[in-house]
């Protein structure tokens, strides 16, 4: 029997070392799979599906709630619906916006009448319609016209607190016709309605909140 004999119970011959395991590998378990931590190392926490983390690396992750209302809430969420704008604020915002539209129209239209210029009168109508479209585009994209911004209120979708977009803002503007048909009672409806909505708000599923 010799030291090179595989049946030798006394070990390996001198000068020969047992094969070394690769760094990070435990004996008998093989190499770790690609993308998996080595045996015995802690695994990284998994991010819940559908949530996104915000902030810089190393900071405490902040989870953004889905479709949150500005100011701390959303329907069905922990904050609930934010404070709704009362009737007086809405009237004040409406009057400011009407001044923005009517003053240029009346000035240009009056000049056209005095000068007996059909062109100026036509331009005054085009200007008025263009200003209305501009206000609705601003309201649809940001939730605020100059009047609403001055009053500290904002128009949002009722179901998720997002801005309504230009199309729905213009449809809501047309739906105000229904507010005026029954003796303007639709404009007064927010005085006693639980959600402080006009008929146009109920048709378009919108709310006006305080910011």
| Domain edges within the chain | 87-210
What stretches of 143-164 show up as alpha helix (H) in DSSP? 146-151
CA distance linking residue 95 with residue 151, whole number of Å: 11
H-run or E-run covering 62: strand 62-63
Select from 127, 93, 90, 97 the least CA-distant residue to 110.
127
pLDDT in tens, the chain (211 residues): 444 555 555 555 555 555 555 555 555 455 555 555 555 555 655 555 444 444 444 444 444 443 445 544 545 444 566 899 999 999 999 999 999 999 999 999 999 999 999 999 999 999 999 999 999 999 999 999 999 999 999 999 999 999 999 999 999 999 999 999 889 999 999 999 999 999 999 999 999 999 9
Q: Which two tokens stand for residue 179?
A: 């507010």
First to last CA, the chain: 93
Contact criterion met (CB below 8 Å) for 147 and 95: yes
């Amino acid at each position: 029997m010799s030291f090179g004999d595989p049946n030798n119970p006394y070990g390996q011959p001198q000068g020969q070392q047992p094969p070394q395991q690769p760094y990070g590998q435990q004996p008998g378990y093989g190499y770790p799979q690609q993308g998996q931590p080595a045996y015995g190392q802690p695994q990284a926490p998994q991010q819940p599906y559908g949530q996104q983390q915000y902030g810089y690396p190393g900071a405490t992750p902040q989870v953004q709630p889905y479709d949150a209302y500005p100011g701390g809430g959303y329907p069905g969420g922990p904050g609930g619906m934010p404070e709704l704008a009362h009737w007086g604020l809405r009237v004040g915002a409406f009057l400011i916006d009407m001044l923005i539209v009517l003053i240029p129209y009346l000035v240009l239209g009056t000049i056209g009448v005095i000068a007996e210029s059909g062109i100026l009168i036509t331009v005054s109508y085009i200007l008025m319609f263009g200003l209305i479209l501009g206000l609705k585009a601003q309201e649809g994209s940001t939730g605020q016209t100059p009047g609403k911004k001055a009053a500290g209120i904002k128009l949002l979708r009722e179901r998720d607190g997002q801005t309504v977009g230009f199309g729905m803002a213009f449809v809501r503007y047309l739906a105000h016709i229904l507010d005026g048909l029954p003796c303007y009672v639709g404009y007064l409806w927010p005085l006693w309605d639980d959600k402080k909505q006009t008929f146009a708000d109920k048709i378009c599923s919108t709310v006006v909140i305080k910011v």
